[in-house]
Chain A
Amino acid sequence: MNATAYELLSAIAKYWFIALALFILARMVLSVTREIRIERQVQAEIGQAGTGINATLVLLSDEDRKIKRGKRYAVQGETTVGRAGRCDVTLRAHSLERVHCILNMERDGMSVVPVGRAFVVVDGQVVQRRATAQEGSEIQMGGLVFRLCLEETNDAE
């Protein structure tokens, strides 16, 4: 093919490529923003219905008697429990570490992982690295004792 003819072809084609690229970008931005809006909506619906909550901790007793007995705390997916405000469940109790333990939903129950040397007892056993709590288990963190209530699981259709 003639070199000049190719040059002309390419010089025209460059506008085609620019148009396509801009089209791709515009559609992409449009679709992604719409997708994000849908995702937000899904999150909102889950939050409203409370189906994101996998388990509930019910407070049985508090050493300091500051927090009222029977108070409920929701566990949603991975949840950190501790004294610090940045935890998902914040408990203002002196017997707790800043970040005391990490709770996580697994297939066979709720895993409990103490952070550092935090004092955690599940069903009478002091937890060293990791323990799995079941429906009705008693979990003690510092001076606080909870009972675990697992919610209806996702698989129960």
Chain B
Amino acid sequence: MLNHAEASEKFIEDAERTTWHDETLWFVRSKRDKVSKLLPEWEALREQASSIKDHTLANLGQYLEEFETKAQKNGIIVHWAKDAQEHNEIVHSIISKHGGKALVKSKSMLTEECHLNEFLTKKGVEVVDTDLGERIVQFRNEVPSHIVLPAIHLKKEDVGETFHEFLGTPKGNKDPQFLTEAARQHLRGYFLGANVAITGVNFAVAETGEFVVCTNEGNADMGAHLAKVHIACMGIEKMIPKRKDLGVFLRLLARSATGQLITTYSSHFAKPREGQEMHIVLVDNGRTRQLARDEFRNSLKCIRCAACFNTCPVYRRSGGHSYHQPVAGPIGSILAPNFDKSANVDLPFASTLCGSCSNVCPVKINIHEQLWFWRQDLMKEGLAPLGKSLSMKGMAFVFSNPTIFRMAGYMGRLVMRFAPFIVNNSFNPWFKQREMPDAPKESFQSWYKNRK
């Protein structure tokens, strides 16, 4: 597997596509700026959302239990899963009970995190992602590169080719409306035939035992309303205390995500309709571990709007797949080490710490600070490559000793002035695409000494 730096280098090789990717996502960030500035109370809303989430996380156990009781009263069957494996098994057991061979699934980052598709496919169940972007990447055997815009790494030409291969659309047709219609016709059959529908959950309301699913395509509703069985999968951090809190979160979510005033469908599922079976799977999968870490607890406030993706200058120029995780971008980089430190040691370093992510975050997660904390944590665990630890030790030594620092600086400048080839070569990553700074004859300190 390529690390973030290697994968990004490959992505950037296609300069034109990188420009297109950067500009497309910047356009989304600009839309977000525009609509957020139409609300004088925007910053107050962020503050309120952040406090509600703080409060909820501090009392999560209580709210989860309240939710369970209310949901059961409403006739929803509630399941608890401690990890991805348990989640997948629970979902599979429900499907088996109903003899399902194919199911429709709307967007759920949790099921991506748990690798549910792979699990079910191995068990002989066909999973059909019904979100257009997700269906596209599913055809291509890829994972989403963005949590709101799963196929944002692809151009319409790419989609045309994929649909030609899988749906038999005419070769070379890249008309978005035509291709979308082809997907609709293709998905219609699955919607009508599936007896199980899986959806994600954006918000679960403790007060009422209902959950809210936000989509722009209506695919979650179509699936859930047609199927005999509805399974909703959610991470335990999706809880909010009261229905009225939605007045804060729904306003922030769509504006932050796509610059819309409201998501097209914000559907409340409170109880099964007659003859329907409704399940909800509450998944921990490392969330309680994160909850117990003071520095990282805040990451659980995330409402998956992806504003931090769109604003991140690194993400826009490296693409979601370079993060090799279901959730990419800045938020993904602080969530991933919780799952596997050693496999994700590169991600907290895939940032300049510019801080734009924390500024756009609708629930005020201190993303850039958590990136910094993860860097410390991972290096303390001894996950640095040997060369890096050595160079850091060397640096620490030089900077602790003024005499050695002066000498090293003097020697360094001497080398750069009289033997520049020693630094101006391909072993120096700075020099590959940048000139080195000019080495002045004397340092400031030696100038200052002579000035007196």
Q: Do A and B come from one complex?
A: no
